[in-house]
Structure 1
Amino acid sequence: MAGDQLQVLNALDVAKTQLYHFTAIVIAGMGFFTDAYDLFCISLVTKLLGRIYYTIDGSPNPGTLPPRVSAAVNGVAFCGTLSGQLFFGWLGDKMGRKRVYGMTLMLMVLCSVASGLSFGRSARGTMATLCFFRFWLGFGIGGDYPLSATIMSEYANKKTRGAFIAAVFAMQGFGILTGGVVSLIVSLGFKTKYKAPSYAEDAKGSLVPEADYVWRIILMLGAAPAALTYYWRMKMPETARYTALVAKNAKQAAADMSKVLQVEIEAEDEKVLASGGANSSSFGLFSREFLARHGLHLLGTTTTWFFLDISFYSQNLFQKDIFSKVGWIPKAPTMNAIEEVYRISRAQTLIALCGTVPGYWVTVALIDVIGRFAIQMLGFTFMTVFMLALALPYHHWTTPGHHTAFVVMYGFTFFFANFGPNSTTFIVPAEIFPARLRSTCHGISAAAGKAGAIIGAFGFLYAAQGKDPAERDHGYPKGIGIRNALFVLAACNLCGLLFTFLVPESNGKSLEEMSRENEDEEGDGAAATAGNAKTAPAV
């Protein structure tokens, strides 16, 4: 060991649960609340956008977004999120967690409002503007992933660290739920005011202009929670682990945490300069030393998050299409545009309330009891089982009288996604990497997840279309059908299960113990690569 644990870090590890823990959860969690609202509310209004901007004059059927437009509207935010995770993850390790935190939040606020104000002389122009602002909205959201996780992990004590990080991520469930509730309220307000009995009357009457307000209001309201927490984010001190281990400022770290913990902490300048060992703190992300110590860990966190998000985001973004195919949501020509938004929102709110939100909070309750590894294995296993249970007798579920049972089974896949890998893939990368690379590695892991989300968003859109033209939405090419798409998602979950064996268990251990920052290079098992690591340039 290069030395004993720093007093300031030990104080954080053994601190009792205090008010500042819950304050940090709320402040960081509201970012995730906003993230989830902004990312998933688009699926509630996609069909409405098709009706408003792509209706064919005189047609008896509702308009539909062309395949490429629909894919872009649903997936462009994920492209921005992937870019933001890589950029802000790296920047968080270079400039500090707190300084970058405010940048991401302001970007989210501005782009949420701008998305609702999208404009254009034509349908194509409006959709292009919407995609532009949603890309930059995703860019800001991407930065929130590594920063929120890293900040919460570095503030928490080691006994309940998993629960605190999981609680931050669990705000995502409330964001999804709130998106559904807001859509319900907004659509119900317009639905009550304008009672068009059919789509034909909807298209000819005064409902469509008012329907244009619906999607804009829903998107713009995503700015509210982020704006409300901006002040408190800026009041948070920088984490002691960044200040002490990366910035090497012992005095500032001790002063900040003395205020937070309300105890007297000594500034240990000499220990800070030697913390983690002069050798072990010198290696960079692309060094052999990092590969020897954490290469398999990074492979595990990236692959599990990748396979999880293919399945998770496919389920979330296109559950409206699945509900329509099994008959739980009536066919579009039988409803006016506002009625369709209302019914889609009601279905997704019910799934969020019964499956999504409970899964997050069961994770919060149990993650420090049974550990990250067990929860991730359990989640991937049951996601695979329930996907196969939906896919194998798919034609049975789609017959009248079995629709409710299908929805219940589908809800279980959401429960075990959130009481499982959707939570743990977020938590573990914030615990197992060195402080100087923690935000970067979390950003890389999260970006791999968003690559999976992009595949889910773009791929499932086409794959879920049936082979028979009568089973496909207007303009969509032949696909493999929802049943076969469910088999593909089950295979992704099985792959995630297998790659989980590369991820170490971090339950009950300090961050420095997991990242091996207290080890001297000469004392570890990588003596053969130590000489190369000493001379490798830091990243």
Structure 2
Amino acid sequence: MGFFTDAYDLFCIAPVSKLLGRLYYYNPATGKPGKLPHRTNNFVIGVALIGTLSGQLFFGYLGDKLGRKKVYGLTLILMALCAICSGLSFGHSAKSVLGTLCFFRFWLGFGIGGDYPLSATIMSEYANKKTRGAFIAAVFAMQGVGIVFAGLVSMILSKIYLNWYGAKPFVEDHVFSTEPEGDYVWRIVLMLGAAPALLTYYWRMKMPETGRYTALIEGNAKQAAADMGRVLDIEIHGDQDKVSQFNASNNYTLFSDEFFRRHGRHLVGTMSTWFLLDIAFYSQNLTQKDIFPTMGLTNAADDVSALREMFETSRAMFVIALLGTFPGYWFTVAFIEKIGRYYIQLVGFFMMSVFMLIMGLKYDYLKNKDHKWIFAGLYGLTFFFANFGPNSTTFVLPAELFPTRVRSTCHAMSAAAGKAGAMVGAFGVANYTQDGDVGKIKKAMIFLAFTNIVGFFCTFLVTETMGRSLEEISGEDGGSGGGVMEVEVAGKYSDDERRENWEEEKGRSHGGE
């Protein structure tokens, strides 16, 4: 639910930004619908990404220093508070309203940033090696649900206001083309992002610290065994001597020579692939509102009222997300433990590059309304292979490749590199294509195809993690092949003994049936 909230808060701004332009930047002298200036539009869309990058590094570091759970609740409170405040943005002029909005969205992004490394790290440290990838991918797949709901909520609210209040008559001078009720709509859309965060807070606080952090960082095998025994509902005994052996063989810090010798290549690989992926992914998501008219999914701003434009933009965003974006995440969940992270990422990058290159080279042909469904199909397939590909695996791999003492920080650095790529997409690519110029969109698509193929080759810097314990992957086990949850916090009974006890208990309970 944390990741659902993250995605909703980040992507709901896309349909909202057009409505903000219609509300606050209408100029009667032009006789045309209002539009956010380029620089203002970029900042409204991109400021949360700046906050996310900062929050990832800050909370990722704290997650390793203070513990995963202690920091986890703080990020949720910050997200909920800033989502509400974003909807209450105030001011005596358009600039001051948007300035207040950008202030709160920066801190909203700051809280979202903390959720990235902590969610991935907590899930990886709780899961077993056979299903770990699927569980981490399932957490990330909630991003797809959040994007779907960002479009759905915006679509429903704009439609409700259109139906309840009725669209004002559309006249030539456009005076009534922006309904005043639109000022309520964008605020409600942003404030609703607080609801799932608040609903999740209780369960997040009831979650104990991960056994790996308690055992390997705090050095308390007994407490780790008690916590994990409570979670798994079995009796577990901790082995303090084994924990001490693990710590003695892994007593090196981030940025030390030993770290770079063991994990430097992997860190470069996870950071570079996430950076390159997010250039394309966020460019696509944040510039959807400009591409939709070309695809024939929305009408031109001059032909519809403000709320009608928001409804059509949200509807197109919802359809693309539901049919193209959403399935890819869950394909990853289904196949990541069968195909592996490495090959899913390679294929995803390659296919994204192919589809974007086709769209770039054939854009003049595809933008014709007679071929809009071909364009929509190619656009949707790009999203599908982003999510059944590097958008999911770049989240999973940093949570598995690095040792416990720096796992949260390394994931945060990788995610921050991704948000740097997202800012290139938001401030660079989105700005470049802001005016909807066909030539610029073609060049942007070809550029994104190139970044994806570079990401394909950078994938060779990482390694497959499927089917191995975290300690084996990171080298914390000293080459013994055992994981901390299998060795240091070992169960009282073997699997066979537990099965025999369970069957004996079952026989007593059911009369031997």
Normalising by structure 2, report the TM-score.
0.91
- Counterpart for residue 374 of structure 1: 343
* Corresponding residue of 1:339: 308
Correspondent of 2:187 among 216, 220, 223: 216
The aligned amino acid for 1:380 is F
Matched, 1:173 2:144: yes
1:254 maps to amino acid: A
Pairing partner for 1:253 from 212, 224, 244: 224
Answering whether residue 456 of structure 2 is matched by residue 497 of structure 1, we say yes
Match of 1:281 among 250, 256, 266: 250
1:75 counterpart = 2:69: no
User: How many Å separate the matches in 2 of 1:299 and 1:493?
Assistant: 16
- Alignment deviations for residues 302-334 of structure 1 (CA, whole Å, 9 cap, x no partner): 000000000000000111101123433111010
Match of 1:229 in 2: 200
Moved over 6 A (4+): none
Q: Please give the alpha-carbon distance, in whole angstroms, between the structure 2 residues aligned to 1:462 and 1:224.
A: 32
Provide the secondary structure at the position in 2 that maps to 1:275: helix
Alignment match of 1:100 (pick from 71, 88, 107):
71
Letter in 2 for 1:196: K
3, 9, 18: which one pairs with 1:47? 18
**Structure-to-structure mapping, 1:62-461, within 5 angstroms:** 62-192=33-163, 193-198=165-170, 203-204=175-176, 208-276=179-247, 278=248, 280-461=249-430
Q: Are 1:198 and 1:333, in contact at CA under 8 Å, matched by a contact in 2? A: no
Opposite residue 444 of structure 1, the aligned amino acid is M
Instruction: Give the aligned residue type for 1:34.
Output: T
Matches of 1:299 and 1:274 in 2, distance apart? Answer: 29
- Distance in 1 (CA, whole Å) between partners of 2:197 and 2:235 is 34
Give, as a single letter, the amino acid of the residue that structure 1 aligns with 2:443.
Answer: N
The TM-score normalised by the length of structure 1 is 0.87
Give, in angstroms, the shift of residue 264 of structure 1: 1.3
Cα distance in 2 for residues equivalent to 1:199 and 1:103 = 50
Q: 1:518 aligns with which of 452, 471, 477?
A: 477
Displacement of 1:263 in angstroms is 1.4
Q: Give the conservation status (yes or no) of the 8 Å contact 1:80–1:142.
A: yes
What is aligned with 1:486? 445
Determine the structure 2 residue equivalent to 1:536.
none
Cα deviation code 1:232-273 (max 9, x no counterpart)? 000000000000001101111011011111111112122222
Deviations 1:196-225 (A, max 9, x none): 2426576348x5321100100000000000
C-alpha displacement at 1:114, in angstroms? 0.4
The residue type equivalent to 1:445 in the other structure is S
Match of 2:487 in 1: none
**SS of residue in 2 equivalent to 1:374:** helix
Q: Deviations over 1:255-298 (max 9, x none)?
A: 1011111111112122222224x1x3221111000000000000
Q: Which moved more, 1:106-115 or 1:190-199?
A: 190-199
Q: Give the % identical residues.
A: 61
Letter in 1 for 2:50: C
Residue type of the partner of 2:167?
K
- Runs of 5+ in structure 1 lacking a partner? 1-29, 473-478, 522-539
**Distance in structure 2 (CA, Å) of the matches to 1:332 and 1:430:** 44
Unaligned runs of 5+ in 2: 481-513
* Kept in 2: contact 1:368–1:507 (CA 8 A): yes
Aligned partners of 1:335 and 1:397: how far apart in 2?
A: 24
Whether the aligned pair in 1 keeps the contact of 2:349 and 2:385 (CA below 8 Å) is yes
Separation in structure 2 between the aligned mates of residue 289 and residue 58 of structure 1, nearest angstrom? 66
Offset at 1:465? 4.6
CA drift at 1:194: 1.8
When residues 254 and 55 of structure 1 are mapped into structure 2, their CA distance, relative to the original with a 3 A threshold, is same
Residue 431 of structure 1 aligns to a residue whose secondary structure is: helix
Using the TM superposition, give the Cα deviation of residue 120 of structure 1 relative to its aligned residue in structure 2, in angstroms.
Answer: 0.8
Number of equivalenced pairs:
479
SS in 1 for 2:104: helix
Q: Deviations over 1:356-407 (max 9, x none)?
A: 1100000000000010001000100100010011111110001131112101
Residues 199 and 336 in structure 1, CA contact (< 8 A), matched pair in contact too:
no
Offset of 1:429 from its aligned partner? Answer: 0.2
- The CA distance in 1 between the partners of 2:226 and 2:143, in whole Å, is 33
Give the 3-state SS of the residue equivalent to 2:285 in structure 1: helix
The answer to which of 317-326 and 173-182 deviates more is 317-326
User: Aligned partners of 1:452, 1:120: CA distance in 2, in Å?
Assistant: 32
* d(CA) in 2 for partners of 1:199, 1:46: 23
Whole-Å separation in 2 of the counterparts to 1:480 and 1:306:
25
